[in-house]
Amino acid sequence: CPTSPAAPLAFTMLQLTRIYMGKSMFWGNASLNGQLSHLLEENNVTQVLPLEPPDAWARRQQVVIAYLKNFRQLVQLFDKERPTKFTQHLCCHLGCRLYPNGTAQSFYEVTLNRTAFLSFHVPNATWERRWPGELPVAAFAQEQLMKYPITTQDLQYFLNTTCVSILQAQSSRTGKVSGRSRTPLVLGLILGSLVLLGMALGIFLCTGGSC
């Protein structure tokens, strides 16, 4: 739905991952200022809004496909070491909002099996556990994510700077998405931050065990 003039502009991304017996299924999308901009279905990622020219989009598309392939291979590797016979659902929801007064807010939230699992505190570039009660998997995932600049400082920069700049560019166009936008394709840019999915993959296989 189009945003009203008083509402904040928003750029949001969603990736859903379903894992069962070593097999991964993907769904996801991105939306810019209330309009669907990208769609992810299994191995297919499409650009709904013309944010990038065809040649640049073709290169970005290959990067996304390679990421999904690597993720699947990583799941299979972990499943061989610690097989599970139940389904796991991981949801990553991230993005930013730009308010009419110029202030911005960014977020990254992760749920595991529909329960709050982790969140990224953008101002301090730190990961925080959200799981109710003690859970070794949550501690393990948090520790792994805090080890790497790509899931701390780089992710902070993306959410605070890159994401917000996309909204600022759209705000200057009175909220109308322009096909001539020079803003980078978010699905490509967030691949670095989504490496956290691979590093925290112990989530799926560390349930109840030693990490």
What confidence tens digit (pLDDT) does each residue in 148-197 have? Answer: 787 788 888 888 888 888 788 777 765 444 444 444 445 444 444 454 45
| 179 within some domain | no
What domain count does the chain have?
1
When pLDDT is averaged across residues 81-85 and rounded to a whole number, the result is 70
CA distance 125 to 68: 25
pTM for the model: 0.76
Closest CA to 92 of 75, 76, 114, 109: 109
| 153 within some domain | yes
Q: Give the range of the structural domain holding residue 137, as residue numbers without chain letter.
A: 9-173
| 197 within some domain | no
| 59 within some domain | yes
| 207 within some domain | no
When pLDDT is averaged across residues 114-126 and rounded to a whole number, the result is 92
User: ∠ at Cα 76 (108, 155), nearest 5°?
Assistant: 20
- The 10 Å Cβ neighbour count of residue 62 is 12
Pairing of strands 104-112, 115-121: antiparallel
Task: Spell out the residues 6+ positions from residue 156 whose beta carbon is closer than 8 angstroms to its own.
Answer: 120, 122, 125
pLDDT in tens, 88-117: 888 889 899 999 888 999 999 988 889 998
| 210 within some domain | no
pLDDT at 188: 45
| 131 within some domain | yes
63: pLDDT strictly greater than 80? no
Quick check: 156 and 143 in contact, CB under 8 A? no
| 25 within some domain | yes
pLDDT at 192: 46
The enclosing domain of 48 has a CATH number of 3.30.500.10
